[in-house]
Amino acid sequence: MFEITFSPQAIRQLKSLERNLQERIKAALERNLRMFPPKGDVVKLEYADNRFRLRVGDWRVTYRYVFENQEVHIAEVIHRSKAYR
């Protein structure tokens, strides 16, 4: 099992959301990313090595696996309107 870690930016972005949305995103992370390969609506991002995107409703969570430390590092939690710019 992988441990989930958050970047400072991802923590700020997650805390700025409503409580029920925070819980929904956290539950999706636990359910889909703890194991490898990940489950859910996951796509490898073309512009970055070892970077993936998880879709949670209208929100996108970008992350990468760090296999040496058995970690999933959450980089960003952003709305879909800003994710693809």
CATH number at residue 67: 3.30.2310.20
CA distance 85 to 79: 11
pLDDT (0 to 100) of residue 65: 93
What is the tens place of the pLDDT at every residue in 60-83?
999 999 999 999 999 999 999 887
pLDDT at 11 over 70: yes
pLDDT at 52: 93
User: How many independent structural domains does the chain possess?
Assistant: 1
pLDDT at 85 over 70: no
* Cα radius of gyration rounded to whole Å, the chain: 12
Burial of 43 (0-12, 13-18, 19+ CB in 10 A): exposed
Percent of the chain with pLDDT over 90: 75
> What single letter denotes the amino acid at residue 40?
G
22-48 tens-digit pLDDT = 999 999 999 999 888 888 899 998 877
Domain of 21 in residue numbering reads as 3-83
